[in-house]
Amino acid sequence: MEGSSLFLITLLGLSGLVSSEDSQTTICKPAPRWTIGSEVPMLLSYGQVTVVALLQASCGFCLVQAANMGPLRDKLTNLGLINITYIIVNDQSSLSRLLYPKLAAQAPAGVPVYEQLPNQEDVWEVLNGNKDDFLIYDRCGRLTFHIRLPYSYLHFPFVEAAINTTYYEDYCQNCSFYTNVTWNAKQNEVSPKNRTEEKTEALGKDKLTSKEDDKSGDHHQHSKGPGTGGGHRPHLPTNQEEDIDNKAHRPIKSKGKAGERSNHPTHNHGP
């Protein structure tokens, strides 16, 4: 994970698209206090990785971004990245407030879409954000990545990689919530080499069991096959064995008078 995070940080950092020059000093700093009415959303997610998306209800592509947050969340959840808080903050403009229901309808179930009031302090300005920005915060509420256009488009891997890095690594350091995260991830991780060794071991056990079963079958009683001086009788299904036995031991007519049977039935030893 360290290699992937280093690549991500280097790529985004050198390109200057992680954050603007004005917000460079906010990296690894606690999120500024912002409210929606009387609610303080960042306090509710303390102890978890938090993803804040600044999306505009009057923007068609923003609606697509909101809908794509669902598959992204599901993918990360399936990979074991749970207890992540996702938040959408609508633009404060009058048109975006008017179209707020459209943005709320596109958002994944369980992801809150905060509607800014016209008389409150603009959250986007507080966060030094713009349309389609994604801000990633660690478990201690510190900003780890501020991803702007075009890298914030969810069909690119950068938002996902930033969340992954923030989830597993104490990027800003000294956050007590990360004490056991990396260790547990390494314990649960199974390398391809380990998977191959496990499959080989399982196959070896199956072969050993099969050999033991074959040896146990050597102790069954041997019967003389028809028309032979002895040896193994072929292992046929029960109904075929009975059919052979019936044919081999069927009484045949005597060569005497017609209609009479011999007192000593002769056995047919042919196949």
For the stretch 96-120, pLDDT in tens is 999 999 999 999 999 999 999 888 8
pTM exceeds cut of 0.85: no
What does the domain layout of the chain look like in residue ranges? 2-172
So what's the pLDDT on residue 18? Answer: 52
Is the CB of residue 131 less than 8 Å from the CB of residue 93? no
Q: What is the pLDDT of residue 192?
A: 45
Quote the mean pLDDT of the chain. Answer: 75
Task: Assign domain 2-172 one CATH number from 3.30.870.10, 3.40.50.10490, 3.40.190.10, 3.40.30.10.
Answer: 3.40.30.10
In angstroms, the Cα distances linking 13 to 2, 149, 152, 268 are 16, 14, 14, 94
pLDDT of residue 214: 54
